[in-house]
């Protein structure tokens, strides 16, 4: 088998997503994933600790993207603007491979354990974002409120993007959702009655 062929990690990830979608996450084995990718099962474990890791392997790089984007936001940017910039950077990465994002979403949505891990990932992103905001001098509770609100907006935008087949693109959907949030807040501040 071609274990030294280029992009083994990418081939394994694609094979895993395809098998998870075809058979279900629980039924797909690491041996089948490796075979589908043209590699050995041992090669699978060189790249991924387990089957779940295929779905969550990008978490470290996403954390780095979030922190960097918050750090690089203009000094004058409000906390929510810095969060919006960070989440737009994450959305741009997801947008690079919309088909893989849709497959991943379908697999995660179909499995309670994976849904729980996805929620933990998003909570971790909120904590990292809040920490990056605090490093910018945003006090608590404003840092946590902005970070948690941003993650909620991201979840809504991503769900809309998935349900609408990737049109418009995810960063645009995120910007629209952030505008919707600002409009809701502005309405409440201007005395609009709360929905009943």
Q: What is the CATH number of domain 58-189?
A: 1.10.357.10
CATH architecture for segment(s) 8-54:
Orthogonal Bundle (1.10)
H helices present in the chain, as ranges:
8-23, 30-37, 41-47, 51-56, 59-72, 79-95, 98-109, 112-135, 142-163, 170-189
pTM as predicted: 0.86
CA distance 106 to 99: 11
Q: pLDDT digits over 125-170, tens only? A: 999 999 999 999 999 999 999 999 999 999 999 999 998 876 779 9
Domain coordinates in residue numbering, the chain: 8-54, 58-189
CA distance 185 to 137: 24
Q: 16 exposed, middle or buried (CB, 10 Å; 0-12, 13-18, 19+)?
A: buried
């Amino acid at each position: 088998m071609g274990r030294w062929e280029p992009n083994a990690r990418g081939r394994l990830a694609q094979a895993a997503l395809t098998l998870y979608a075809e058979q279900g996450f629980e039924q797909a084995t690491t041996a089948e994933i490796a075979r589908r990718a043209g590699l050995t099962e041992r090669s699978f474990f060189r790249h991924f600790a387990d089957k779940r890791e295929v779905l969550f392997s990008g978490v470290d790089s996403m954390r780095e993207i979030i922190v960097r984007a918050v750090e690089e936001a203009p000094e004058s940017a409000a906390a929510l603007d810095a969060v919006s910039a960070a989440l737009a950077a994450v959305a741009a990465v997801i947008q690079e491979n919309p088909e893989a994002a849709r497959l991943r979403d379908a697999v995660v949505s179909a499995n309670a354990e994976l849904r729980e891990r996805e929620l933990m990932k998003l909570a971790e992103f909120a904590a990292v974002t809040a920490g990056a905001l605090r490093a910018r001098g945003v006090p608590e509770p404003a840092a946590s409120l902005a970070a948690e609100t941003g993650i909620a907006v991201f979840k809504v935008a991503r769900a809309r993007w998935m349900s609408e087949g990737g049109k418009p693109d995810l960063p645009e959907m995120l910007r629209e959702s952030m505008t919707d949030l600002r409009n809701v807040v502005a309405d409440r501040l201007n005395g609009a009655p709360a929905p009943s």
